[in-house]
Chain A
Amino acid sequence: MSAPGFILVIAVAVLYSSGFYLLLQRSLMRVVFGITALGHAANISLLLTDEAITLPPLLTGHEGELSDPLPQAMTLTAIVITFGVTTFLLALAYRVWLGDGNDEVPNDVEDRRIKQLSEPEDSA
């Protein structure tokens, strides 16, 4: 009985899909949004490894089934880690803005140069 309900499977699919889609955009801000969405998706995935309707994992003597506390603990750690890293990414976006006036991830310069070569530079 630990598989989640179908509607949540769909929700997870949508979360991941949209997260990936945002990740593939040029604007770093959208990438941040994507990372956030993906973080949610992963956290929900962790949580969905447990039965849905359960009591909070507290030893209060209430009747009923307790939630599995381990995924919750891991999710908690993951939430905080994702937050820290997202913050860094935002700081980076700020730096990019300082330099470029926007927050786009530009293509690599050296790759671009090589792309434009028609002949190898060292052909004996």
Chain B
Amino acid sequence: MLIFALVLHAAFAVLLPPLVRVLGARVFFVASLPPALAVLWALSQAPRIVSGRPISASVAWVPALDISLDFRVDALALAMVVLVSGIGAAIFCYSVGYFHADERGIGRLASVMVLFSGAMLGVVTTDNLFALYVFWELTSVTSFLLIGHDDRKEQARRAALQALVTTVGTGLFMLVGFILLGGIGGTFRISELVADPPTDSPWLPVALVLILVGAFAKSAQAPLHFWLPAAMVAPTPISAYLHAATMVKGGVYLVARLAPGFADVDPWRALVLTVGLATMLVGGWRALRQDDLKLLLAYGTVSQLGFLIVLGGTGTQVAAAAMIGTLLAHGFFKSTLFLTVGVIDHQTGTRSIAALTGIGRRMPVLAGAGALAAASMAGLPPLIGFVGKEAALEAFLPGHVPAPSPAAAGVMLAGLVVGSILTFAYSARFVWGAFADKETVSERRFQSPSWAFVTAPVLLSAAGLLLGVAPQAADAVAQSYAAPLPVGDKPYHLALWHGFGPTLGLTALVIAAGALLFAARRTVEQAQKALARWPEAELGYHLFVHAIYAAALSVTRRLQSGSLSVYLGVILATMLALPGVRLVAALVNGDLRLPFGSEEFRIWDSPLEGVVAVVLIVATIAVAREHRRFPALIMLGALGFGVAGLFVLHGAPDLALTLILVETLTMIILVFVLRRLPSTFNVRPNGWTKRFTVLLCSAAGTFIAVTLWLMTDARTATPISGGFAERAEEVGGRNLVNVILVDFRALDTFGEIVVLATAAVAVASLVLLNRRSRVMEQNGAETPEENGAETEDAKEGTAGPRAGIGTKEILGNDLRPDGAHQPNEGGE
């Protein structure tokens, strides 16, 4: 069923775009079906899951690499499914009202959103590290596409890429961490790893840190949080769904998923608690000064995510329960708030606190829902937010918990209280900013939203209330999830009322201080402005990207010279550096010995060899030194005769014969080409470059010759050709070379003929056929598609690729002030 739900998401993603023509924006109703189905199914299975019998399913994909789509829905997964699919379904319905029917790319949007929904469902239900990564990165990519939905805005493109690079980049760390973890754990099933963590491996901390980096970035933990506020350029339903309710919870989920097994492994807890707390405080502080409601919520989300990371990563029962409560709470209230802002924005055209007034009066239902959600965020009873926060404070009460040291717990508790105060303050600020009547602001004209548009926020905020009033449902999930964790003094349950105790006192403190902070909002704002602005985290990203591009440019412009001779020189140098150095080293070490002085050493086997060698040497050097084409050609001919002589000498008349034939043909062709070219080569001046070239080439040539000498000297086995003589008798041939060519190695000969024929066709098409097209051109029979090189050559850089669409027009003058050439101009 789960797999069916996933497949259904994918299928709908394909189906939706064509449906847009028929349904318009109502296509989102259709889109809500798969998540709705998923959440209904999950809820129907809830009793069984909560009772400790998770649902499993599996699809093999790449078993040899342990990549397999294993699914396992336990309590934590159940909570996440409810969030992901439940909120998803609601937001899809909301989108029907939010998007206009003529919105650009609405089909694509719906499709990608459903894909995201499916991917997120996969993230939270899979039990295989690789499968988790698969779905994880699918959410990154879909998020990228959704942030960049309004791709004509520079800001949107930039934010999308930034989010993608950050999350996928850190995701790579996570992937390596996964591979390490699975490698040392001997399995890639998460449940097995958590149940039996490979704690004795020295690599475990490394793996965990890598994984946490990925999780932190996904959940926008400081200092990697910068991408999330920037991502708010996306349409509000997307912000609400991905960047508040679900995707950003991925990191939290992963931390919570692994905490039961790994929370006690250093440096897990230290890392999670520090980063989480810092994020909570930074986010809360920044939220206090935002004017854009959406940004206010975004920073609030950052803060809340820090809070959740702290809770999920601590690895105690109480913290775990608190995490479940807060997770659900945040999902519901934050999506509500975003949707509320969406409605306000949609109707009034602004999200600026400074421009809004009277909204509460004009849209009371919406305001009610928003206020309720904000209350939950602020941690007021009887909402689920309150339940969660109570549990969170309880989790760090000194002495109550076994895991963090008492001192650390004290610090954490203080931090959480401060964070909660900030949260209360910005929650209040939100309600005031969105709904209050402000005298200084003039009221705007706008229409009331349709009921369908408001339904989703109302329902979602109601869910928060419902869960708060009846926390048993959440508690059941929490207990089921927390069961394997170390127990404190006494079992803890999510509930509205735990009696008078330190936590209630702290809550009171939070409310009081928060209210004070809200009341003093002017002062706070001024204080924030007055404080020296600390470096924005985003700056780090920009520096990173700039460094990459700068490095890329400086490396590439130095290496990629564009000069063929340099390329070939480097190739020769590489040959010297690899086998060359190896050979020299072996010679120096005495592992190899040149045949000097051995019995094998001979100047020549026949004085004739000396004659031939001298011819070869003199002719070759002459060719190389000659800078006039024609004399060089003659020397080359002499060289050919020299080689032929060597062939004769070495008992290879057939070779000599063929060579002379080929040489003659080459000379004929050369002459034909040569007669068109200038009589001398452009010779580079003598200088260190030339000297270096000579040195390099001599070294390369010497290397090969010496290697040949050594190889032939070291031959151990007799050549296989002994067999040919006997076999040749069978075939009836007397010339062994011929027999080999036409019989033993006929395939080579065949290949040789193919090469020759192909070269002939190539030459013909290069020389003859194009000549014809030149004639055509002269006759004025010019069609842009068929004409050959000549017209195009003339127009290089501006040549129109086809059908009258000139590159010039496309590129425009301003884009190419220098008239730079297109390397591949001319299309096909």
Q: Do A and B come from one complex?
A: yes
Q: Is the CB of B729 within 8 A of A13?
A: no
| Residues of B near any A CB (own CB < 8 A) | 158, 162, 541-542, 545-546, 549-550, 552-553, 556-557, 560-565, 568-569, 572, 595, 600-606, 609-610, 612-613, 616-617, 620-621, 623-624, 629, 632-633, 636, 639-640, 643, 646-647, 649-655, 658-659, 662, 665-666, 669-670, 673-674, 676-678, 681-682, 684, 693-694, 696-698, 700-702, 704-706, 708-709, 711-713, 715, 719-721, 724-725, 728-729, 733-737, 739-741, 744-745, 748-749, 751-752, 755-756, 758-760, 762-763, 766-767, 770, 789-790, 793, 820-821, 823
A94:B767 contact, CB within 8 angstroms: yes
Known: A6-B602, A52-B650, A70-B719. A84 touches B759 (CB 8 A): yes
A-B residue pairs in contact (CB < 8 Å), sample of 17: A12-B705, A16-B704, A22-B624, A24-B693, A27-B682, A47-B655, A56-B651, A57-B651, A69-B740, A70-B719, A74-B745, A88-B762, A94-B676, A97-B676, A109-B821, A115-B562, A124-B542
A5-B602 in contact (CB<8A): yes
Assess the A76–B650 pair: CB atoms within 8 A: no
- Contacting residues, chain A, for B673 (C-beta < 8 A): 29, 90-91, 93-94, 97
CB-defined contacts of B728 to chain A, threshold 8 Å: 59
Could you say which of B162, B557, B823 contacts A109, with CB atoms under 8 Å apart?
Answer: B823
Ranked nearest first, the 10 interchain pairs of A and B with the lowest CB-CB distance are A17-B701, A111-B562, A16-B701, A108-B562, A84-B759, A120-B549, A13-B705, A69-B736, A52-B605, A67-B651
Known A-B contacts A5-B609, A67-B650; the reply to A37 vs B620 at CB < 8 A is: yes
| Chain B residues with CB under 8 A of A49 | 711-712, 715, 719
Which residues of chain B have C-beta atoms less than 8 A from A66's C-beta? Answer: 651, 725, 736
Interface string of A15-26 (1 = CB under 8 A from B): 111111111111
Count how many chain A residues have C-beta atoms less than 8 Å from C-beta atoms of the other chain: 101
B466 to chain A, nearest CB (A): 45
**Beta-carbon contact of B749 and A8 below 8 Å:** no
The docked-state distance in angstroms from the alpha carbon of A103 to that of B670 is 13
Q: Min CB distance, A55 to chain B, in Å?
A: 5
The verdict on A88 contacting B759 (CB below 8 Å), with A5-B603, A44-B646, A57-B737 known, is yes
Question: Of A22, A56, A77, A84, which is within 8 A of B748 by CB?
Answer: A77
**Chain A proximity of B819: nearest CB distance (Å):** 11
User: Which of A7, A21, A110, A124 contacts B545 (CB under 8 A)?
Assistant: A124
Q: Interface centre among A48, A70, A111, by most B CB within 10 Å?
A: A70
What distance in Å separates the Cβ of A71 from its nearest Cβ neighbour in chain B? 8
Q: Is the interface of A mostly helix, strand, loop or mixed?
A: helix
Q: Considering residues B564, B647, B720, B752, which has the most beta carbons from chain A within 10 angstroms of its beta carbon?
A: B564
Closest to B569 in A: A24
Q: How far is the CA of A110 from the CA of B549 in the complex (A)?
A: 17
Q: From A36, which residue of chain B is reached at the shortest CB distance? A: B636
Which chain A residues border B820 with CB–CB below 8 Å? 109, 113
Interchain CB contact under 8 A, A95 and B767:
yes
Cβ proximity bits A78-121 to B, threshold 8 Å, 1 near / 0 not: 01110111111011111101110011110111111111010111
Residues of B within 8 A of A11 (CB): 612-613, 616-617
New A-B pairs, 7, CB < 8 Å, besides A76-B655, A84-B759: A7-B609, A32-B670, A52-B609, A77-B749, A81-B755, A93-B673, A113-B820
Q: Smallest CB–CB gap between B539 and chain A, Å?
A: 11
A79→B655 contact, CB < 8 A: yes
Given A6-B604, A77-B749, A14 and B647 touching (CB < 8 A)? Answer: no
Q: How far is the CA of A105 from the CA of B541 in the complex (A)?
A: 42
Q: Which of B565, B701, B709 contacts A18 (CB 8 A)?
A: B701
A124 x B759 contact (CB < 8 A): no
Q: How far is the CA of A59 from the CA of B725 in the complex (A)?
A: 8
Closest to A83 in B: B662
Q: Which residues of the partner chain B approach A68 to less than 8 Å between Cβ atoms? A: 719, 721
Residue in B643, B737, B821 whose beta carbon sits within 8 Å of that of A72 in the complex: B737
Instruction: Indicate whether A120 sits within 8 Å of B569 (C-beta atoms), given known contacts A9-B705, A17-B700.
Output: no
Question: Are B643 and A43 in contact, CB atoms less than 8 angstroms apart?
Answer: yes
Residue of A with least CB distance to B620: A18
Partner of B682 from the list A8, A43, A95, A104 (CB cut-off 8 Å) is A104
Q: How far is the CA of A33 from the CA of B639 in the complex (A)?
A: 11
A83-B665 contact in complex given A66-B736, A75-B652, C-beta closer than 8 Å? yes
User: Would you call B737 and A73 a contact (CB within 8 A)?
Assistant: yes
Quote the shortest CB–CB distance from B759 to chain A (angstroms): 4
For A52, what are the chain B residues with a Cβ–Cβ distance below 8 Å? 604-606, 609, 649-650
B643, B666, B684, B720: which contacts A44 (Cβ < 8 A)? B643
Q: How far is the CA of A117 from the CA of B542 in the complex (A)?
A: 20
Point out the residues of chain B lying under 8 angstroms from A6, CB to CB.
601-604
User: A6-B604, A15-B701 in contact; A56/B653 too (CB < 8 A)?
Assistant: yes
Q: Quick check: A91 and B762 within 8 Å, CB to CB?
A: yes
CA of A26 to CA of B595, assembled, Å = 38
Q: Are A81 and B624 in contact (CB under 8 A)?
A: no
| Max chain B Cβ within 10 angstroms of own Cβ: one of A9, A76, A81, A93 | A76
B616 touches A14 (CB 8 A): yes
A51 to B676, CA, bound (A): 44
Note all chain B residues with C-beta closer than 8 A to A36: 636, 639, 666
Closest to B739 in A: A69
* B549 CB, nearest partner CB in chain A, Å: 4
Give the docked Cα–Cα distance between A120 and B678 (Å).
41
Complex: how many Å from CA A1 to CA B721? 16
Assess the B766–A80 pair: CB atoms within 8 A. Answer: no
Interface hub of A8, A25, A112, A113 (most chain B Cβ within 10 A): A8
